[in-house]
A and B are shown apart, each in its own frame.
Chain A
Amino acid sequence: MDMQKTFESALQELEVIVKELESGNVDLDNAINKYTEAMKLAKYCSEKLNNATEKVNKILTEDNELKEFKTE
């Protein structure tokens, strides 16, 4: 799987596969491949979500400089 995938696109892809499998229009070989792929996506999403380093808040200054922004 493409590890550059964004969290959102991975989650969307996961949703699509779940719905596709539930529609019952997939043959068994294909279904097993899709299932494997979906499980990988779920793992990827969970990991990305739970191991994410917290993003710091930023401020875009008048000089177009992105600086850390701390709320009091």
Chain B
Amino acid sequence: MEKEYIKISDLNNYIKSLLDKDSFLNKIYLKGEISNFKNHTRGHLYFTLKDDTSRISAVMFQSSASKLTFAPEDGMNVLVEGRISAYPAQGTYQIYVDAMEVDGLGALYIEYEKLKKKLSTLGLFASDHKVPIPKFPERIGVITAPTGAAVRDIMSTIKRRYPLCEAILFPCLVQGEHAAADIVRQIKRADAYGVDTIIVGRGGGSIEDLWAFNEECVAYAIYECETPIISAVGHEIDWTIADFVADLRAPTPTGAAEMAVPTVIDINTLIDNYKIRLNKNIKNMVNTKFIKLRNLKNSYVLKNPLSLYEIKEQKLDNLIETLNKNIKNVLQDKDNKLNKIKLSVVLQNPYNLIKDKKIKFDLLLNTLKLVNPLGILDKGYSLVEKDGKIVKSNKDININDLIAIRLHEGKLKAEVKEITN
């Protein structure tokens, strides 16, 4: 039989068609760790998924990659959903990823970060919402599991430091799916019961163990709690959402009790200190007043009452002297003014006043002469009048009219013989 050679591309395409027909491979869920992660500039992601013994190439196109809620990176454990197909050009098969999420702890961590960011934006961590913890509480509500190290540490520390304070346990679940709701319920109960401070918390554990304290409902219960609240979840390094919302965060349950109550020794020291300050103060005050009193008693006036009069006498003399001096000054002043007036130029030369007026009068008279209409006759001109009116034109005159002629000296009467132009 003749051997039939086929092309590689035909083979690869044939294999691809086989894979694409397989319904199991068309929708597959895969779990693995990311390695060789490459984020192509066009937005497609290329990486390898591997477990302890095997690996498979993976591609996630930009349309799916854009829906990711986290940034994938090497070493991350993920859960993916996709289909298996071949890439004929390379002769490889790979998984085409449609969706991917972080597996296990990573997923919780991402959820934690998301909630933290959200609640922070909503103002649940705002420092101005936090209230101070009472210094000397009489009753503390403790919300934690009734067994284990946490409750023992909190209760015994309160008792040891400050036996005046009553500690009331509000027992609750601190892990598992019902824990969050139970914590919320007990926070509300303690808030309503009437305690000075609330401690809510639990001992250390894995992130899943502490998870209830990262739940949104617990965060809101703490935020809405009227009573000052101290959180104490796990160890120093564990920061839960509850820690951010609480009025005060304690590193450990024992730490919470230490923050909640003072020690008897501290208060005794404080009271002693107050007493010392009081004694010192009252002693100083009495001393000061005593010295003041002694100084007053020793004052010259009290020892020599007559000196009071001496002082007054002297003062009177001073006043009289000042008065005399002042009156003299006033008189002198008036006298000076009078002399000044007497010596003034006008009073000394009254003629000057008249001379001035005379010159002014002559000047006015001359001006008057200049403007007198009759003044012009001086120069040889004459005025012609008819019926008492000055004649300006021959049109006002008829032959045989009687006219009067006014000269510089005297008047003439005349009869008109002829009129010419």
Q: In the assembled complex, how far is the CB of residue B155 from the closest CB belonging to chain A, in whole angstroms?
A: 5
Give the distance in Å from the alpha carbon of A71 to the alpha carbon of B286 in the complex.
55
Interface size range on A against B: 35 or more
The CA-CA distance from A53 to B165 in the complex, in Å, is: 10
Count, A-B residue pairs, CB within 8 A:
98
The complex places the Cα of A17 from the Cα of B282 at a distance, in Å, of 12
Tell whether, in the assembled complex, residue B282 and residue A45 are in contact, meaning their CB atoms are under 8 Å apart. no
B267 lies within 8 A of A49 (CB)? yes
Does the CB pair A58–B275 fall under 8 Å?
no
Q: How far is the CB of B185 from chain A (nearest CB, A)?
A: 10
Task: Point out the residues of chain B lying under 8 angstroms from A46, CB to CB.
Answer: 268, 271
Q: Decide yes or no whether B171 CB sits under 8 A from chain A.
A: yes
Assembly CA distance A17 to B271 (angstroms): 12
Q: Mark B275-296, 1 if CB is under 8 A from A, else 0.
A: 1011001100110010000000
Name the CB-closest residue of A to B138: A6
Chain A residues within an 8 Å CB radius of B167: 55, 57-58
How far is the CB of A18 from the nearest CB of chain B, in Å? 5
Interface string of A1-39 (1 = CB under 8 A from B): 000001110010011011001101000100110010011
What is the chain A residue whose CB lies nearest that of B264?
A: A49
B61 within 8 A of A: no
Q: Which of B156-164, B210-218, B338-346, B379-387 forms part of the interface with chain A?
A: B156-164
Alpha-carbon gap, A39 to B167, bound state (A): 30
Contact indicator A45/B271 (Cβ below 8 Å): yes
Given A11-B136, A57-B159, A52 and B189 contact (CB-CB distance below 8 Å): no
Provide the bound-state CA to CA distance between A42 and B166, in Å.
Answer: 22
Shortest CB-to-CB span from A69 to chain B, Å, is: 5
Whether a CB of chain A sits under 8 angstroms from the CB of B274 is yes
Interface size on B, residues (CB 8 A): 37
- Which of A24, A58, A60 has the largest number of chain B CB atoms within 10 A? A60
Contact across chains for A59 and B169 when beta carbons are under 8 A apart: yes
A39 lies within 8 A of B169 (CB): no
Q: How far is B306's CA from A42's CA once the two chains are assembled, in angstroms?
A: 52
Q: Judging by beta carbons under 8 Å apart, are B169 and A58 in contact?
A: yes
Closest to A19 in B: B277
What are the residues of chain B within 8 A of A50 when measuring CB–CB?
A: 264, 268
B155 & A69 in contact (Cβ 8 Å cutoff): yes
- B138–A8 touching, CB < 8 Å: yes
Contact A8–B278 (Cβ < 8 Å): no
* A7 and B168 alpha carbons, distance in the complex (Å): 19
Residue on B with the closest CB to A22?
Answer: B281
Question: B152–A71 contact, CB under 8 A?
Answer: yes
CA separation between A12 and B241, bound complex, in Å?
34
- What 0/1 readout, one digit per residue, does chain B (127-156) give for beta carbons within 8 Å of chain A? 000000011101000000011000110011
> Which residues of the partner chain A approach B164 to less than 8 Å between Cβ atoms?
7, 48-49, 52, 55
Question: Are B274 and A42 within 8 A (Cβ)?
Answer: yes
Interface centre among A52, A57, A72 (most CB of B within 10 A): A57
- CA A8 – CA B164 in complex, angstroms? 11
Q: How far is the CB of B90 from chain A (nearest CB, A)?
A: 66
What are some 14 contacts across the A-B interface (CB < 8 A)? A7-B164, A8-B134, A14-B274, A15-B274, A21-B281, A22-B277, A32-B282, A39-B278, A46-B271, A49-B267, A55-B165, A57-B168, A69-B155, A72-B152
Residues of chain B at the chain A interface (Cβ within 8 Å) = 134-136, 138, 146-147, 151-152, 155-156, 158-159, 163-171, 189, 193, 264, 267-268, 270-271, 274-275, 277-278, 281-282, 285-286, 289
The 3 closest A-B pairs by CB, nearest first: A8-B136, A54-B163, A71-B152
Sample of 4 more A-B contacts, CB < 8 Å, known A28-B285, A28-B289: A8-B136, A31-B285, A55-B167, A72-B152
Binding site for B on A (CB under 8 A): 6-8, 11, 14-15, 17-18, 21-22, 24, 28, 31-32, 35, 38-39, 42, 45-46, 48-50, 52-55, 57-60, 66, 69, 71-72
